[in-house]
Chains A and B, each alone.
Chain A
Amino acid sequence: MKKHSVLKKVYMAVIILFLYAPILTLMVLSFNEGRTMGKWTGFSLHWYEDMFADEDIMDALKNTVIIALVSAVVSTVIGTLFCLALPRLNSKMRSVFLALNNIPLLNADIVTGLSLMLMFVAFGITLSMGTVILAHITFCIPYVVLSVRPKVRQLGMTHYEAALDLGATPWVAFFKVVLPELRSGIFSGFLMAFTMSVDDFIVTHFTRGAGINTLSTMIYGQVRIGIRPTVYALSTIVFVVVFILLIASNVISGKSATVKARRKAES
């Protein structure tokens, strides 16, 4: 009883410690005064100052944001359209398309990256930021589908049909009735795609043109020439941003459900 509950807590604490200790170490070191890895010499924010002054880092940050925004927007549109089309297919075609959608999720990043690069080169497409964006759209779509599809299934066809029945054109029915119901799923899909794009190193590494760096490829490059604590500061910021986005996406997709549940409970 009591002994067990203590054991449970210790077990949880150990798991969480192992999961987050490395990131905590990194965060702590990013505030370290000196540049040695293992020794705490005092609190300082000067690595953060250095980071914001570093043109390479700011350039990579800008690229990362542009790539993530464009690929998240495009993959959200494509993924949502895909989800809307699925119920219209017969069950056989539907499972074929869903399987096709899941393969990029399971495929090793290195294979995806390498094959995309080969294809771009084979078709004579110069590697640039554009090719990175195309590549990111490719691997982001499945995440959008994963997050939008449950909403589409939950909604079903009746709301759409009800709107048509009341005289709405298919267009009006979609924008006034269907889209508002899918909003939370679409938004969390967008955030998911954005996060995946920011996070990616391997695919970016293979598909980027000369001189194009995102945060992850730049950090990797710096690691090879000798790591500087500015990278710790940068990594800390990347982690915090991704962490916030993930929480936001969870809160948003969970919110509509809990609001409904609460309203039900109140009535």
Chain B
Amino acid sequence: MSSTLVELEHISKSYGSKLIIDDLSLTIHENEFVTLLGPSGCGKTTTLRIIGGFEMPDSGRVLFEGRDITNTPPNHRNLNTVFQKYALFPNMTIAENIAFGLRISKKSKQYIDDKIKYALKLVNMEDFADRSVDSISGGQQQRVAIARAIVNEPKLLLLDEPLGALDLKLRQEMQYELIRLKNELGITFIYVTHDQEEALTMSDTVVVMNQGYIQQMGTPESIYNEPENAFVAAFIGDSNIIPGFMVQDKLVDILGVRFDCVDSGFGTNTPVDVVIRPEDVILGKPGEGRMDGRVTHIIFKGVHYEMEVMAGGFEWLVQSTVGHPVGEEVSISVDPFNIQIMNKPASEDEEAIKLDE
């Protein structure tokens, strides 16, 4: 991996008595597309605002290229932000908006004009230079906000749910645009979103956050395929999270039935949570799989059918391109590679359930 750009060291932040970020440390490399992903209130936006300089951490340090910038005001940081509500200046034209940062850094008129042209071309808005902010659509405002940020050639671009206000089609288009921009410009992106699909589509690294903690960090594939805990599994895509126990290495007991798997190192007879993605559940004729069940719900989702199958006392969520009518007897099997084992969280609730059993 290339060299380190941003380091967060033991950042904590609270508002009043509410702890937003709890001892968070994170390293971001140059030219990386990092997404902070989590539900609202998980601390992702606050983390971004601390990097941007709009919030001060209660404790901890922010390093930028090895230099401590914790107390540096936003206007002296070599980074730019694309805000959630775009925050274009309504009293200026599109071109004046884009020129704002360059005028402040006292660039020459020629340089600024060239840069405006270049930035508008980059976001496919060449004909809009002299339009007013109010006269363009939300998607166009978003493009201008991005153009306004990148003309300053920051090392780091912060994006705070920039696509949140756009409709689905436009959002998907903009996702590709952002990936293209990032590759063309070679700057580091830190992107905040609560949309897991957006995170998986665009990022090199996904940081899943909840309640001020980093829950898991890794490539989109590893986050999706190997969630480390139930929160990540449930938050990223749909999943079946089933209590089970590890009989021995590579053998897990799910709902009283033994399944082969590929995980080891959990010990013997250890209670675990088992994650199986709905698209990894294979339905067959009764008796042909590991366990039998009955289809209780089916809906057509376009690409696939989504079914619920009652088997072994658990309602399995199943996605398949082949639909089975409600009431049909089916069997369930799972490829050992698609069974993901997680440690049970050591919480009191879990203890209580165990005692009951």
Task: Please report A residues at the B interface, Cβ cutoff 8 Å.
Answer: 158-159, 161-170, 172-173, 176-177, 180-181, 260, 263-264, 266-267
Contacts and interface: CB of A to CB of B under 8 A. Distances in A.
A181 B90 contact: yes
B124 interface: no
B83 A267 contact: no
Contacts of B136: 267
Interface in B123-149: 132, 134-137, 148-149
Given A169-B75, A181-B91, A266-B135, 15 more contacts: A158-B87, A159-B89, A165-B81, A165-B149, A166-B75, A166-B100, A166-B148, A166-B149, A166-B152, A167-B152, A176-B89, A176-B100, A177-B91, A267-B135, A267-B136
A172 B148 CA distance: 17
Contacts of A267: 134-137
Contacts, number: 68
Nearest to A264: B134
- Interchain residue pairs A-B with the least CB separation, the first 9: A166-B101, A162-B87, A180-B91, A158-B87, A263-B134, A164-B74, A167-B104, A165-B81, A164-B75
Nearest to B133: A263
B135 A162 contact: no
Given A161-B83, A180-B91, A168 B75 contact: yes
A167 B74 CA distance: 7
A170 B75 CA distance: 8
Given A167-B152, A181-B90, A162 B104 contact: no
Interface of B: 52-54, 73-75, 80-81, 83-85, 87-91, 100-101, 104-105, 132, 134-137, 148-149, 152
Contacts of A173: 75
Contact residues of A: prevailing secondary structure: helix
A158 B86 CA distance: 9
16 contacts: A159-B87, A161-B81, A162-B81, A162-B88, A164-B74, A165-B149, A166-B80, A166-B104, A166-B148, A167-B105, A170-B75, A173-B75, A177-B91, A180-B91, A181-B91, A260-B134
Nearest to B131: A267
Nearest to B148: A166
A172 B132 CA distance: 21
B54 A162 contact: no
Given A162-B87, A180-B91, A167 B75 contact: yes
Contacts of B81: 161-162, 165
Contacts of B53: 164
B2 to A, nearest CB: 25
A168 B132 CA distance: 21
A260 B87 CA distance: 16
A159 B90 CA distance: 9
A163 B100 contact: yes
B104 A172 contact: yes
Contacts of B101: 166-167
Contacts of B135: 263, 266-267
A263 B134 CA distance: 6
Contacts of A264: 134
A177 to B, nearest CB: 5
Contacts of B52: 161, 165
A91 to B, nearest CB: 10
Contacts of B90: 181, 260
Contacts of B88: 162
A169 B100 CA distance: 12
B62 to A, nearest CB: 15
Given A264-B134, A267-B135, A165 B75 contact: yes
B85 A165 contact: no
Interface centre among B74, B81, B152 (most CB of A within 10 A): B74
A176 B89 CA distance: 9
Contact of A162 (B83, B105, B137): B83
B75 to A, nearest CB: 5
Interface centre among A166, A170, A176, A263 (most CB of B within 10 A): A166
Nearest to B73: A164
A166 B136 CA distance: 22
Given A167-B104, A168-B104, A162 B73 contact: no
Interface centre among B88, B134, B137, B152 (most CB of A within 10 A): B134
Given A166-B100, A260-B134, A161 B91 contact: no
Contact of A158 (B83, B104, B105): B83
Given A168-B75, A264-B134, A267-B137, A161 B87 contact: yes
Interface centre among A167, A168, A260 (most CB of B within 10 A): A167
